[in-house]
Amino acid sequence: MKHKAEFSNAGSDTDLDPDISDRTAGVPPAVAGASRLRTTRWAELVATFFGIGRLRPGPGTWASAATVVLWWLITRWIGAYWQPWAAILLALLAIAVGIPAATRVSRASGSKDPQWVVIDEVAGQLIALIAVPISWKSLLLGFILFRGFDIVKPPPLRRLEQLPEGVGIVVDDVGAGLYALVVMQLVLHFGWLPR
């Protein structure tokens, strides 16, 4: 019987999220399990950017490409003046919900930086597109710059990966987005992007 009790506790809610034990004390197990499942579902949806993180190969590239396409579609309904502000707000939203979602998925999977967590690419790609004119050349260049910086991870991005949990998962891509933003703005300022 002792083995059965140990087995039934293995993989319990408290193993996945130590804070759950405080929230589920005195709650019937069926209710506590349903609550954990809902919490995990929202985190999984956000972290994988509605399942795009499950695409292979290169889930980060798929997420960046989807972000560029979605941004292009969104800008059809936003005036040019408001587009930089919209990109900033969407990037901040992706960061704000991405960090807790990435933390939960990372804890549940037991992996420091699960490959299918791509909300960080969404945030970084949006940052790279702030104040970028909406044309296929500028969007493609923003995509290439962000993916390049995200893959190469110039200093100090590798160090940012060492930050704990969701912060480390998201912040290094925010840094890659900032690098891409700076280069993109230089390219636009000096007119190096062919028309």
The model's pLDDT over 20-53, given as tens digits with 9 standing for 90+, comes to: 444 444 444 444 444 455 558 899 999 999 999 9
Does 57 sit behind a cis peptide bond, omega within 30 degrees of 0 on the bond before it?
Answer: yes
The amino acid at residue 123 is: A
**124 within 8 A of 182, measured Cβ to Cβ:** no
Mean pLDDT (the chain) is: 84
Contact 181, 124 (CB under 8 A): no
Cα gap 133→183, rounded to integer Å: 14
> What integer pLDDT is reported at residue 25 of this predicted model?
45
Amino acid present at 162: Q
- Contact of 82 with 110, CB cutoff 8 Å: no
Give the integer Cα–Cα distance in Å for 111 and 101: 14
More confident residue, 26 or 12: 26
Instruction: Quote the strand ranges of 70-135, DSSP E.
Output: none
In this predicted structure, the answer to whether residue 179 has a pLDDT above a threshold of 70 is yes
